[in-house]
Amino acid sequence: MVQIRLPEKSKVKKGNYYKDKTGSKNLRKVNVYRWDPSTEENPRIDTYEVDMNNCPSKVLDILNKIKNEIDPSIAYRRSCAHGVCGSCAMNMDGKNGLACTKSHSEIKGDINIYPLPHLKVLKDLIGDLSTLYKQYESVEPWLKNSKNISERENLQSKEDRAKLDGLYECIMCACCSTSCPSYWWNGEKYLGPAVLLQAYRWIIDSRDEDRKARLKKVADELKLYRCHTIMNCTNACPKGLNPAKAIASIKKMLATS
Amino acid sequence: MKNENPLSPHIQIYNWHISSLVSISHRIAGIINLTAVTLICFWVAYLLLGDENYQIIYIFLNSFFGKFLILGIVWSFSFQILSEIRHLFWDYGIGFDLKVANITGLIVIFGSFILTVLIYLVGNLF
């Protein structure tokens, strides 16, 4: 159901202001979404003045700096810091991306950091992705092959392998799915760009023998056709992939098969 | 004391892109067009009731508001036709590249105004 406004308990209030203590002249204001599950309070926006003279280039560096030097209570996910693991996906400057690959010099004015949109917040910048993972499981993202292939490599032609380019690179960071208005309004039923791109990755794999069943499973008014080509997903993908195109490819296969 | 987890902000904070703007406008234009076609049907049916009715509608459509209404409908039809052509190419699997999609989006936006002016000028000839 389309609900434009946030529920009363989710409305964001003004939070604390952390003034700079280093005396640096090169300061930037960083507004961060905070929510503490141990209190009854609404989410708030805390503002930190960050000394940019001693801060590396990415948004994740700012968050690390805040956590290490200003406010250790802030919670966010991060791991590899090189755009490979997808843990630090969040909304920065109104657009989803990975904090570890997004340069703060690209952002003009104050830096606004929110969790991924339209998720149940667990704490601060951490959103609950369990629905998405369940949906991922539902497309059975593993190779289905009746041949006994345990003894040697399962070979693929160069052309067939090339079909997986632009699909296998997906790191499941959920930037695309949580940028999609269709997924916001129908997230329980619509699979969303991330999961559909994964579904297509197995549909198009020449080694997989379950193509027909996979297509049939995904061919659903809500699961697939809630995609209205808004293209927020492709705009958001930090790996430069094109989920909108993958979804269109599934639709095309269904229309022509 | 179990607290209810909040929902993170979504449309309130998310940036608009050309593609999302064209997408929502496409839907709004669709609703306008549907209403417009319905009204035109009523208009035609109304004419069957006599020539006085023709005069009333004629005066209304020649007023400033009437002209504004007609131009608005012409724009929304132009917009949806161009946007629908874009969708047809997408259905064929063409034009998903981000750069291409942005350019075609801009073509739809500016093209709809150009088409509106053209239709207005052609209409003025008759």
Pairs across A and B, CB distance < 8 A: 108
Cβ separation B6–A40 shorter than 8 A: no
Q: How many domains does chain B have?
A: 1
Partner B, chain A 20-59, Cβ-Cβ below 8 Å: 33, 35, 37-40, 42-43
pLDDT above 50: residue B1: no
Residue B2 lies in a domain: no
For B7, nearest residue in chain A (alpha carbons): A120
Asked whether residue B2 carries a pLDDT value surpassing 70, the answer given is no
Say what the ipTM of the complex is.
0.91
Contact criterion met (CB < 8 Å) for B19 and A235: yes
Range(s) of the domain holding residue B62:
18-125
Asked if A127 lies within 8 A of B8 by C-beta distance, the reply is yes
Rounded distance, CA A142 to CA A127, Å?
26
B60 located within any domain = yes
- Specify the amino acid at residue A47: T
> Pairing mode, if any, of strands A95-98 and A89-92?
antiparallel
The residue with greater pLDDT, B4 or A243, is: A243
Do A78 and A100 form a contact (C-beta atoms < 8 A)? yes
Give the domain CATH number at B107: 1.20.1300.10
Which sign does the torsion angle of CA B27, A254, B91, A199 carry?
positive
φ/ψ of A114, rounded to 5, equals -125, 160
Contacts of A235 in chain B (CB under 8 A): 17, 19, 98
In what helix (H) or strand (E) does residue A29 lie, and over which residues does it extend?
strand A27-34
pLDDT for residue A154: 84
The pLDDT value given to residue A152 = 80
Q: Do B11 and A245 touch (CB under 8 A)?
A: no
The 3-class secondary structure across A105-136, one letter per residue, is: HHCCCCEEEECCCCCEEEECCEECCHHHHHHH
Task: Identify whether B4 is part of a domain.
Answer: no
Cβ pair B11:A181 closer than 8 A: yes
**What span, in angstroms and rounded, lies between the C-alpha atoms of A136 and A226?**
17
B90 contacts A248? CB cut-off 8 A? yes
Domains of chain A: 8-127 (3.10.20.30), 130-256 (1.10.1060.10)
Asked if A33 lies within 8 A of B3 by C-beta distance, the reply is no
**Residue B115 belongs to a domain:** yes
Written as tens digits, the pLDDT of chain A (257 aa) is 678 899 999 999 999 999 999 999 999 999 999 999 999 899 999 999 999 999 999 999 999 999 999 999 999 999 999 999 999 999 999 999 999 999 999 999 999 999 999 999 999 999 999 999 999 999 999 999 887 667 788 889 999 999 999 999 999 999 999 999 999 999 999 999 999 999 999 999 999 999 999 999 999 999 999 999 999 999 999 999 999 999 999 999 999 98
Q: Is A95 on the interface with B (CB under 8 A)?
A: yes
Chain B residue nearest residue A34, CA to CA: B8
Per DSSP, the three-state class of A41 is coil
Asked if residue B11 belongs to a domain, the reply is no
At A107 the pLDDT is 96
